[in-house]
Amino acid sequence: AQSVTQPDIHITVSEGASLELRCNYSYGATPYLFWYVQSPGQGLQLLLKYFSGDTLVQGIKGFEAEFKRSQSSFNLRKPSVHWSDAAEYFCAVARNNAGNMLTFGGGTRLMVKP
C-alpha cells in the first residue's frame, strides 16, 4: 500500500523568506506526484505535478518542487513567501498507473508572519 507523509503539521515563516515543505512517499513503482493548496473552506487547487522527465518542476504562484527518487521525496519550495500563501498544503500520490485515485498526505498548514 502506498502512503504519503508530510512531517510538518505547521510551519510559520516570515513574509519574504524562503519556504520548503517536505513530502515523503512510499510506493513500489514510479509515482505520479502532486502538490495542492487549500484555502480555508475551499476546494483544492493544483500547484504542480510530476509525471516523468525533469525532476525539478515549476508550478503556479512561483512554487517549484523537486522529485528525488533516492530519498522518496517531493519537497515543495518557494524562494520568497507572500502573505497570500498562507493556506493548507497537501502532497498527493496517484495510487496506481491504471487508476486515478489519489492518496494524500496529512497536510501542512503554512502561516506567514508580516
Partner 1 sequence: GAVVSQHPSRVICKSGTSVKIECRSLDFQATTMFWYRQFPKKSLMLMATSNEGSKATYEQGVEKDKFLINHASLTLSTLTVTSAHPEDSSFYICSAPLGPTPEQYFGPGTRLTVT
Among 17, 46, 56, 111, binds partner 1 (CB under 8 A): 46
Name the residue with cell 519550495.
Answer: 77
- Per-residue binder mask for partner 1 (CB under 8 A), 74-93, x = binder: ----------------x---
**Minimum CB distance to partner 1 smaller for 49 or for 77:** 49
End-to-end CA distance of the chain: 41
The answer to the question of residue 43 lying near partner 1 (CB under 8 A) is yes
Q: Is the CB of residue 37 less than 8 Å from the CB of residue 88?
A: yes
Among the listed residues 3, 10, 57, the one whose alpha carbon sits nearest the alpha carbon of residue 35: 57
**Binding positions for partner 1, rule: CB under 8 A:** 32, 34, 36, 41-46, 49, 51, 90, 94, 99-107, 109
